[in-house]
Structure formats: C-alpha cells, structure tokens
Amino acid sequence: MTVSATYRAFVLEQLSRALPDVRARSMFGGVGIYCGPVFFALIGNDVLHFKVDDLTRKHFEAKGMRPFRPFGEGGEVMQYYEVPAEVLEEREALVVWAEEAVAVGRRAKQRKGKRAGLMAS
C-alpha cells in the first residue's frame, strides 16, 4: 500500500478547506487522517477512504463506492469506504461527507471509551 506525495498533499489541501485542524500521519504504508483527536479517514494506494458506520455506509454504497480491504479482495473489510472523486473535488459536498466521517469517528471513540470503562469495573 503506497501513497504518493502529490496525492497526499492534494487530499490534505482539500480537507483543510472543509474541516479545521486536519492532520495526517503515516502508518503501515498508508496515511491516517485526523480532525483534532478524531481519526476519520485514511489513504491507501492513492485512494481516500472515510470512516463509515451503519448510519452512513448507505451513502457510499449508493454511489458505488467500495470498502477498504488492506489485504486485497479476499481479505478483511474495514469500516472505511472510498470517497467519490466528485465529492473530493467539490468543497460543499466534501464538507458534508467529511463532517459525517468525523461524527462516525467520534461515535466510535465514545463506544471504545465506554467499553474500556466497563472492563475496568
């Protein structure tokens, strides 16, 4: 899984126009993208993927987008879906889709925190 410097720069530029406090971090050959402390997107093989859940996945599937599979077609499916090219290139649409992905990231973080609290009890 590789990410070119030009694609990474393009995605970060687009996202920084849509969201505050966007930053990227290299990880496992790809790039993780955060809005503040919330992990909400990743880039793998020069494709941007947003975090999804049961509330948002349908929007991606309706556009024919596919899930991120880090180990190829027969491998595990992660809860990240390709972002349509027209969304990435259109600021108003990107704001809506990116904010939804950040909200999914926040919900996931809250669930994780609650589970950790239950285990500590």
CATH of the domain at 27: 3.30.1460.30
pLDDT of residue 77: 80
Whole-angstrom distance, CA of residue 121 vs CA of residue 36: 29
Q: Is 54 helix (H, G, I), strand (E, B) or coil?
A: coil
27's tokens: 């990880």
Mean pLDDT by 10 residues, the chain (121 residues): 92 96 92 97 96 96 92 81 96 97 93 60 50
Torsion of CA 9, 10, 11, 13, to 10 degrees: 80
Give the range of the structural domain holding residue 46, as residue numbers without chain letter.
Answer: 5-120
Q: How many CB atoms lie within 10 A of CB 50?
A: 26
Whole-angstrom distance, CA of residue 74 vs CA of residue 105: 26
pTM for the structure as a whole: 0.88
Whole-angstrom distance, CA of residue 27 vs CA of residue 42: 9
* Count: domains in the chain: 1
pLDDT of residue 109: 83
What angle, rounded to 10 degrees, do the helices at 91-120 and 5-18 form?
90
